[in-house]
Amino acid sequence: MSQTARFQETLRRLAMIDEAFVEDQAGLRLGQATELVLDPKTAALLQLGVSVAIGSPAVCIEWSAGRALVAGATDDEIADVLLAIAPVAGLGRVVCAAPDVATALGYDVAAALDDPGDP
């Protein structure tokens, strides 16, 4: 693989959050810890909350919300995470993350804001 192709492949796989690639190449494990007392859904919801609280980029927040869905979280539980962390993380972080979480849930917040008649 050429040097150009290698860096392009690395950036592409990082952008799509290729878990296996990150684990193999960076030694960073993105999966669940194997011996948690927490159930996978609770752990995924906590990880989403932390991603929002630390100001992670949109793609990471969407990825975390997707992982929570796969772990069995409902849309309401995911939205409630934002409400639960707002007093600690700050309203600004939560407001900035809300559209990214909405995207992960298949909800177009921008369109809803443009149409005041749509709840």
**Cα separations in angstroms, 103 against 4, 6, 36, 38, 64:** 32, 30, 29, 27, 12
Whether residue 105 sits in one domain with residue 53: yes
The domain containing residue 41 runs over which residues? 33-114
CATH number at residue 93: 1.20.1290
Q: What is the pLDDT of residue 72?
A: 97
Asked whether residue 49 falls in the same domain as residue 100, the answer is yes
Statement to judge: residues 26 and 40 lie in one domain: no
- Token pair belonging to 119: 């709840």
Tell me how long the chain is.
Answer: 119
Q: Is residue 119 part of a domain?
A: no
Q: Is the pLDDT of residue 67 over 80?
A: yes
| pTM exceeding 0.85 | no
Same domain, 21 and 48: no
**110 and 60 part of one domain:** yes
The reply to whether 64 and 93 lie within a common domain is yes
Number of domains in the chain: 2
Q: Indicate if 74 and 95 belong to the same structural domain.
A: yes
pLDDT tens digit string along 71-101? 999 999 999 999 999 999 999 999 999 999 9
Please check whether residues 81 and 54 belong to one and the same domain. Answer: yes
